[in-house]
Structure 1
Amino acid sequence: MIERGIPIPSVGIKLVTASGVEDTTSRAALGQGKIVLFSVPGAFTPTCHVNHLPGFVANAAKLRAAGIDRIVCAAVNDHHVMKAWAESSGALADIAFLVDGNGDLAREMGLDRDFSGAGMGTRYARAAMIINNGTVEAVFVEDAPGVNASGAPSILMALEAA
């Protein structure tokens, strides 16, 4: 699994922002500035939609005040689903959505998890990280169902402690 001090791998992704959908690389999307990247098992899934994403939307201003330049949500979904989720959640003003359709970045970072038992295939583990100019500063991976270590309040506490 990716750790502190490791650069973000560079793989092809799509990025959904308020400007639209663009083909890019994970290095280009996450390589400049101080970024919070949080990963979810899937767009519109109950915990992701009700608990994880809303916390980052509600705390976006606080995260920026703590020095974060960009907040990015990653999932193994297609760009149509991620765009629909971003729009329906009202999150596009504050959050960019990293589309890792084949799970390449999830695998490269060691954050891929097998959700086949739930009929979802390979997805991201629920996690978050602080990235500074393309290098991981901190990683927070949930070890049980729910949003605790990878939620916005935990990230804010980590930023304040640093």
Structure 2
Amino acid sequence: MSGIFGNAKTAATAAAAAAHSTAASLLASAQIAPGTEIPDIKLLKESSPELNAEGAGDAASALKTDGRIIILGVPGAFTTPCSNQVPQYIEAYDEFVAKGVKAIYVVAVNDQFTVKAWKEKLAPNGTPIRFLADDQSAWTSATGLIFDATPLLGGPRSKRYAMIVENGKVSSVFVEDAPPNITVTSAKTLLAHL
């Protein structure tokens, strides 16, 4: 009997070590900087969470666009700080447009079903802001804006950041010192930088 449990314990330990190794490698990327092109990595749309024949949802490639866009990275849908931050952008959307912003995207390391439900909760009457799911943290890892949130959120998550992108290149990126903070990434602060 102990052999079966011993093998299970060894397998669980190996799996935990592999997961930690994967998380460590994701966290090792350099943080994206002004002048850098944004990653050409597709994100899942919140508006189409139905699965296709291959078992995947529709992908978005809209982040590679002409003009000025805002990308708002958040640690997790439905978390209190994120649910307090995003409504600032929803309320100030017209002010962003008046300053030449073509689109605002909220990117969360969550599945698209969760992101869709969160958008509906935050904006029950709709919003032009797009919510995108980085379900496997590929986008977030490529930008270097990832941290190990395993103790609280179960795995690597996005740092809280606000990125101004002009014609596919980062012009400014603002990252909070701690994920719960909403200071340099508040809508009011970002508007002042435009």
Q: How far has the Cα of 1:32 moved from its partner?
A: 2.5
Tell me whether 1:71 sits opposite 2:117 in the alignment.
no
Q: Indicate the residue corresponding to 2:183 in structure 1.
A: 148
CA RMSD of aligned residues (A): 1.5
Q: Name the SS for the 1:88 alignment partner.
A: helix
Provide the rounded CA distance (Å) in 2 between the counterparts of 1:112 and 1:87: 25
2:131 aligned to which of 97, 117, 132:
97
2:113 maps to 1:58: no
What 5-or-longer segments of structure 2 have no aligned partner? Answer: 1-30, 50-57
* CA-CA distance at 1:93 after TM superposition: 1.8
Matched, 1:36 2:70: yes
Q: Which residue of 1 aligns with 2:151?
A: 117
Q: Does residue 1:24 correspond to 2:60, yes or no?
A: yes
Q: TM-score, normalised by structure 2?
A: 0.75
**Residue identity matched to 2:94:** A
Amino acid aligned to 2:160? R
Count of aligned positions:
154
Greater share of strand:
1
The offset of 1:12, in angstroms, is 2.6
Q: Which of structures 1 and 2 has the bigger CA Rg?
A: 2
Gaps of 5+ in 1: none
Distance between the aligned counterparts of 1:57 and 1:12, measured in 2? 23
**Which residue, 11, 16, 25 being the options, matches 2:41?**
11
**Structure 1 CA distance for aligned equivalents of residues 77 and 127 of structure 2:** 17
Letter in 2 for 1:108: A
1:13, CA displacement in angstroms? Answer: 1.5
Runs of 4+ in 1 over 6 A off after TM superposition: none
Deviations 1:88-131 (A, max 9, x none): 11174221012110000101000011001214311100000100
Name the TM-score, length of structure 1 as normaliser.
Answer: 0.89
Residues 133-157 of structure 1 deviation map (CA, whole Å, 9 limit, x = unaligned): 1110100000133201011111100
